[in-house]
Structure 1
Amino acid sequence: ATAAYLTLPLWRSLAGGLAAADPAAVAAAHALGMGEARITREVRLPLALPVFAGGLRVALVQAIGLVTLGGLVGAGGLGALVFEGLAQFATDLMLLGALPIVALALLADALARAAEQRLALPT
């Protein structure tokens, strides 16, 4: 279910990145005699990679938050601690589950942001 939920942001980031390719670069590729498949492979995809990486970063953090909700349906994990603490009004249980989730999301975001910046083209 999580993978299905994340297809929309991933698809939108890929489509947005492909559509945002510099028209001058695409025109230059046409002028060189490239076909549409080659332009997509050699011009549009490399230019779309930073935008797609941004969408992947968002989807990664969304996945961490969404998997936390698995504790509601008995899937266990740190989400189970959070929801057990909510049911018992036990702040310590809530924090025991929530703090590692937040740390994991922040770490995943930082690592994905670093990868995204490495993919960005120099301007």
Structure 2
Amino acid sequence: MSLRRTDGDCARRVLQAAENEAAEREGRTSVELQHMVTHDLCHSHASALIAGGASAEQVQLVLGPASAVVTLRSYAHLWPGEEDRTRSVMDAVLGGLRTGCGQVGDVTRVIAGQTA
């Protein structure tokens, strides 16, 4: 997805119109949305993809940087680290053991994409 500089302002106008309509419908004062730039839209899109489990290659294909390396330079901090993955694996394993020891209840926890 290659966005031009004007796309951010166009998106802001559309979002502002939606906010104005919602505020009027709900009987409240509309919130003024700040100016957005292309990077804001790309970063939000990348953040959502990564939170959903997309790989660097998938994000790169959607957003269009020259390579996955460029994507990693920009967004590496958004992917879970090794500690997060290790913790979620152990939580899932221990959660499975807990189910055999006493009453667990109806609560299911989701940690870093893993259901425990």
TM-score by length of 1: 0.25
Higher relative contact order (CA 8 A, sep 6+): 1
TM-score by length of 2: 0.26
Q: Which has the higher helix share?
A: 1
